[in-house]
Amino acid sequence: MKPILVIGMGVVSAIGLGKAKTLEALLANRSGVGELKYLKTEHKEFPVGEVQLTDAEMRKRLDIAEDAVTTRTALMGMLALEEALADARLTQEMLPQVGFISGTTVGGMDMSEQFYLDYIHGEAHKEYIAAHDCGSCTEMTAKRFGKFAFVTTLSTACSSAANAIILGANMIRCGEADIVVVGGSECITKFHLNGFNSLMILDTQPCRPFDATRNGLNLGEGAAYLVLESEESAKKRGATAQALLSGYGNACDAFHQTASSPDGEGAFRAMKEALELAGLQPSEIDYINAHGTGTPNNDVSESQAMKRLFGDKVPPVSSTKPFTGHTTSASGSIEAVFSILALQNGFVPVNLNWSQAMEDGVVPVSQPTKKALKHILCNAFGFGGNDSSLLLSNADFSLNRHCGLDPQSPKRQEPVFVLSAKQISIQQPLSEDWMQNAEIHETPFTRSIDPSFKDYISPIEARRMGKILKRAVATSKEAIKAAGLESVDAIITGTGYGCIENTEFFLDALSTEGEQLLKPTYFMQSTHNTISSLVAIQTKNHGYNATYAHKGISFDSALQDAWWQFQLGQINSALVGGHDEMTDTFYHILKKGGVMGMDDEKCGEAAVSVVLACEPMSHVFEPFETSLLDKSALRQAQGPKALCKLIGFQMLHNPSQNALVDAVATLLQSAEKSLADVDFILTGMSGNHEGDRAYREEAKTLFGDKPLLRYKHLFGESFTASGLGFYVAAQCLKAGRVPASLFVDAKEIRDMQPKCILLYNRSDGKNVSLTLLEA
């Protein structure tokens, strides 16, 4: 690939606020890990790497009122983002051309864990309910600085920020964006401190990655953002590179929900892909900033992966976790900043606290080392085996390198074929019968009708899975089968609230029984990426794997990720999912917080799995040929015909009327269509009066008198209901007809043989996605 410029960065962690303080601490070998000071917990026995500011002090620095709704993750995010934007000389006026992609997993959990019982029983603190999810955290962080062109949130546990960097880079390489701000933020919460404790992977001593006596990790917190820019754009603006992102890889270990494989398969593939994308040899890597958490399991697995890739010539390695603790979702970008500081200042950060080599492990750098560095691999691995690796290079690394994969110039976007779509909802599960007999349910909150899961999951595996996981596995396996494939190149999932049932169990125990004897099963199923990684484990898939958690555009974000990777030619097939479950308690809470269930809005649950491919029939395309072996094993037998084609996609954040008009024009133009070709607009109108009015008003300006159809009254509103919209549109195009139930009122019903449908989704009145599908 053509390297992408890093033109600015900002960071906050236990070792300091800002780049200068961070560099000083790294050079002085000064750890920020110490006794727990700020988090209110009874577990004082664990050392942690806390950012040395209270919430109140951060509010004061940022001039945020004491009673304004915000969370610690958002506050740290703002501190880092402020520095990054200033460092890149990005002004507020420029932001409508800039994207913002952030990674987090805890979101607003620091508040939810304090106020959970109030949320259920009272009125106090209910304004914080809407700040619980990951997407809200990203939007709170972004809002302070102005209006970004688009925002979304990656949630792949401890590799979230690294995957945010990867999405940003893909969008720049496609020419979809010139500048994208990428990274992540995460504060320590009682929730995950207790969760990690239930998994028995926390050390009561300072962590010692790659040491024979290592006994677990220390939790940390912080945030970091990088400003990525294309070479052309930077040249035009006169912006200079601080470093280059010259490669990256994302692979799934597909081994276990919380443990890494003994041979480090996922880590090995992620690092190997990063080298290949950059066109570099293993011998050209000068330093590896390892994930190196200090748990017995990670360090064995990562050592194996490095030895497999580098043989007996493993470059200097260190883990910087002893400086900061494990900053979980933010670690990918925080450590990318550390790596860039190392490139700029010519030193290898020391692996603190190391003294004794572990069996079969790498021997890390334990003494201060001054050394000119050209290329650094920076690893970030997450639960479920979401492994990513970034390749960062010195700013003077030749920009003229080009290794084939990038589109040379903007071109017409290639269509992507929808080979299959399967859903579980309140309508007939896993079948297409709903078009004949769609039932309208009158209750405000309905649960999905589940099929028997016995055909998809063995009882010993199923006993630990929440319903969201069973539905995801069943729809995924059905969709892959219906597509006539044995495997896919990528598994990408969207979920607004993730595994909320297990989150509730864990929060409930934490709030009512206290911080002892919590069940690890609940915790390991509370992370959003459990869904996508479990599907990978169940389908033995080592390919690209990512999870988006951004409110009502979670499915759309997953679709967008796949769309750009298809445009780059990085994948030939993808499984895109949208999964959300609901519980009685959380429905009650979210209704109280004004998040859902307003007016006539009915709520439901959603599980949708869609298989996309670069060719209309599975037998036509060859296995994906890269030097990565068996990246996908596409069967060459005759497959079923595609349901329809995805011919265009756009996502916007808080757009002005003009921006929306432009987006629709661009969408149609790049698909070589005009508005006259579109048969109808399938809207996400849900029965929320204000929301539906906005849909109608906007649609009038954008689409004139095109018929507006809806689907949420059949399925209920859920965070990934837009995935069901995609499913409905695909079925209509395949069948060549539109069920009467989709029309808003009987007067409009007409005989229609749709050829082209525009899906129009607004979430929270802020995020808009436009998806163009053709028969």
Partner 1 sequence: MDELIYTLKQQIIEALNLEDMKPEDIDENASLFGEGLGLDSIDALELIVLMEKNYGIKLKDPSQGKEIFKSVAVMADYISKNRTK
The residues that are catalytic are 158, 291, 326
Residues contacting partner 1: total by CB under 8 A: 18
The span from the CA of 522 to the CA of 158, in Å, is: 18
The span from the CA of 322 to the CA of 350, in Å, is: 9
Binding of partner 1 by 460 (CB under 8 A): yes
CB of 361 to partner 1, least distance (A): 18
CB of 595 to partner 1, least distance (A): 30
Quick check: 544 and 511 in contact, CB under 8 A? no
Chain positions 143 to 162 lying near partner 1, rule: CB under 8 A, are none
The three-state (H, E, C) secondary structure of 240-286, written as one string: CCCEEEEEEEEEECCCCCCCCCCCCHHHHHHHHHHHHHHCCCHHHCC
The one segment of 105-113, 183-191, 253-261, 585-593 that binds partner 1 by CB under 8 A? 253-261
Chain positions 280 to 299 lying near partner 1, rule: CB under 8 A, are none
DSSP letter assigned to residue 178: S
Q: Which is nearer to partner 1, 14 or 207 (CB)?
A: 207
The span from the CA of 191 to the CA of 90, in Å, is: 36
CB of 460 to partner 1, least distance (A): 5
Q: Which is nearer to partner 1, 69 or 462 (CB)?
A: 462
Q: Which is nearer to partner 1, 521 or 670 (CB)?
A: 521
The one segment of 49-57, 89-97, 458-466, 562-570 that binds partner 1 by CB under 8 A? 458-466
Binding of partner 1 by 521 (CB under 8 A): yes
Chain positions 489 to 518 lying near partner 1, rule: CB under 8 A, are 516-518
* Buried b or exposed e, range 103-116, using 16+ CB within 10 angstroms: bbbbbbbbbbbbbb
The span from the CA of 108 to the CA of 205, in Å, is: 28
CB of 631 to partner 1, least distance (A): 28
Among 189, 257, 554, 618, binds partner 1 (CB under 8 A): 257
The span from the CA of 256 to the CA of 534, in Å, is: 8
Binding of partner 1 by 353 (CB under 8 A): no
Binding of partner 1 by 529 (CB under 8 A): no
DSSP letter assigned to residue 553: G
CB of 606 to partner 1, least distance (A): 25
Chain positions 190 to 229 lying near partner 1, rule: CB under 8 A, are 198-200
Q: Which is nearer to partner 1, 554 or 583 (CB)?
A: 583
- Other beta carbons within 10 Å of 89: 13
Q: Which is nearer to partner 1, 46 or 680 (CB)?
A: 46
Helices 72-87 and 134-143 pack at an angle, to 10 degrees, of: 40
Q: Which is nearer to partner 1, 68 or 460 (CB)?
A: 460
Chain positions 52 to 81 lying near partner 1, rule: CB under 8 A, are none
Phi, psi of 450 (to 5 degrees): -90, 140
CB of 515 to partner 1, least distance (A): 13
Q: 3-state DSSP call for residue 152?
A: strand
Q: Which is nearer to partner 1, 412 or 463 (CB)?
A: 463
DSSP letter assigned to residue 389: E
CB of 338 to partner 1, least distance (A): 31
The span from the CA of 399 to the CA of 475, in Å, is: 44
Quick check: 307 and 339 in contact, CB under 8 A? no
CB of 458 to partner 1, least distance (A): 9
Give the pair of three-digit tokens for residue 717: 């509103």
Which residue(s) pair with 288 in the sheet? 317, 377
Among 258, 304, 327, 583, binds partner 1 (CB under 8 A): 258
Binding of partner 1 by 259 (CB under 8 A): yes
CB of 198 to partner 1, least distance (A): 7
Binding of partner 1 by 43 (CB under 8 A): no
Using alpha carbons, select from 724, 385, 444, 749 the residue that is nearest to residue 584: 444
In the Cβ-directed half-sphere of 25, how many Cα atoms lie within 13 Å?
A: 22
Which residues 6+ apart lie within 8 Å of 641 measured at CB?
616, 617
Among 519, 591, 673, 755, binds partner 1 (CB under 8 A): 519
CB of 200 to partner 1, least distance (A): 5
Chain positions 463 to 492 lying near partner 1, rule: CB under 8 A, are 463-464
The span from the CA of 253 to the CA of 231, in Å, is: 33
Q: Which is nearer to partner 1, 70 or 525 (CB)?
A: 525
Alpha helix (H) residue ranges in 63-175 = 72-87, 109-121, 134-143, 160-173
Q: Which is nearer to partner 1, 42 or 57 (CB)?
A: 42
Chain positions 730 to 749 lying near partner 1, rule: CB under 8 A, are none
Binding of partner 1 by 256 (CB under 8 A): yes
**What DSSP element (H or E) covers 127?**
none
Mark residues 406-445: x for contact with partner 1 by CB under 8 A, - for none: ----------------------------------------
Chain residues in the site for partner 1 (CB under 8 A) = 198-200, 256-259, 459-460, 463-464, 516-521, 524
